[in-house]
């Protein structure tokens, strides 16, 4: 079963920042925080991952608290195409499988 | 950008028939995975494959399932005798490049299997 907890759903106005929270209450020292999303039954799409430091790429920013018990994925300017289910996943540094939970369904509203 | 490709995109089969789903992982990846997603449910791990053998499998991956890497590029999932409850989207994925620490898993677009 998934180890993380996320809100079931969130809304965000188009053009505004979407901030998606995740709790990692049982994350261990060698586990990374991964974020994926799934747009309407397409294959899960990798977004970003991090260990301790905040990370940013062309898609999003990832903020990880100092104790690593929570993280926030930030989509800085949400568009309608960002409507999807977003998953946060704890995963160790090896090539272990991802374990998906139910994620957060983000609806971006015009 | 390199991607995982899957065929067929959609297959309809009769109960009891054998089905083979095909995947071409990203070319320099070493680890391969199959996941499934029953309509309306979460994405579930089935099996991972490395160095020509299964490295990990879930309870779902029972004796009716098998995986194979028949050549240097393809990775297949075979379902021996399909059941109605095998109807799902099946996702192939790959990760892991020799000589690097990168192990992000990348997914294909899926093969939708309908068993009638």
Kindly report, residue by residue over A29-40, the tens digit of the pLDDT.
889 999 999 998
Number of CB atoms found within 10 A of residue B10's CB: 10
Q: Tell me which of A96 and A86 has the higher pLDDT.
A: A86
Facing residue for A97 by CB, picked from B33, B108, B109: B33
CB contact under 8 A, B107 and A44: yes
What residues does A85 pair with on adjacent strands? A38, A105
Pair of tokens at residue A53: 């430091």
Q: What does the buried/exposed string (b/e) look like for A48-66 if buried means 16 or more CB atoms within 10 Å of the residue's CB?
A: bbbeeeebeeeebbbbbee
**pLDDT bucket at B102, cuts 50 / 70 / 90:** low
> Is it the case that residue A2 has pLDDT exceeding 90?
no
**Residue B4 near residue B108 (C-beta atoms within 8 A):** yes
- Residues of chain B in contact with residue A38, where contact means CB-CB under 8 angstroms, are 43
**Residue B44 near residue B110 (C-beta atoms within 8 A):** no
What residues does B10 pair with on adjacent strands? B112
Q: What is the pLDDT of residues A56-80, one digit of tens each?
A: 999 999 999 999 999 999 999 999 9
**Residue B91 near residue B5 (C-beta atoms within 8 A):** no
Residue B48: closest CA among chain A residues belongs to which residue?
Answer: A97
**pLDDT bucket at B56, cuts 50 / 70 / 90:** very high
Counting one residue from chain A and one from chain B, the pairs whose CB atoms sit within 8 A come to: 52
Q: How far apart are CA A27 and CA B99, in angstroms?
A: 27
pLDDT at A75 (0 to 100): 98
Shortest alpha-carbon distance between residue B60 and chain A (Å): 13
CB contact under 8 A, B89 and A41: yes
**pLDDT bucket at B98, cuts 50 / 70 / 90:** low
pLDDT at A94 (0 to 100): 81
**pLDDT bucket at B52, cuts 50 / 70 / 90:** very high
Q: How far apart are CA B65 and CA B78, in angstroms?
A: 6
For residue B72, give Cα distances in angstroms to A45, B2, B26, B80.
25, 16, 11, 23
CB contact under 8 A, B110 and A41: yes
Q: How far apart are CA A80 and CA A4, in angstroms?
A: 26
């Amino acid at each position: 079963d998934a180890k993380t907890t996320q809100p079931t759903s969130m809304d965000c106005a188009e053009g505004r920042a979407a901030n998606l929270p995740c709790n990692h209450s049982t994350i261990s020292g060698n586990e990374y925080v991964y974020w994926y999303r799934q747009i309407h039954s397409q294959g899960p799409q990798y977004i970003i991952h991090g260990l301790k430091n905040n990370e940013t790429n062309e898609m999003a920013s990832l903020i990880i608290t100092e104790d690593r018990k929570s993280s926030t994925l930030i989509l800085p300017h949400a568009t309608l195409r960002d409507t999807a289910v977003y998953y946060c996943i704890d995963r160790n540094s090896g090539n272990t499988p991802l374990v998906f939970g139910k994620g957060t369904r983000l609806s971006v509203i015009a | 950008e390199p991607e995982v490709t899957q065929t067929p995109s959609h297959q309809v089969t009769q109960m009891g028939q054998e089905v083979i789903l095909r995947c071409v992982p990203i070319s320099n990846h070493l680890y391969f995975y199959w996941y499934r997603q029953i309509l309306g449910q979460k994405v579930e791990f089935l099996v991972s494959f490395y160095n020509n053998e299964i490295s990990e499998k879930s309870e779902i991956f029972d004796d009716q399932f098998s995986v194979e890497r028949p050549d240097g590029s393809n990775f297949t999932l075979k379902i021996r005798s399909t059941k109605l409850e095998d109807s799902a989207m099946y996702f192939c994925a790959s990760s892991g490049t020799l000589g690097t620490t990168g192990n992000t898993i990348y997914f294909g677009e899926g093969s939708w299997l309908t068993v009638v």
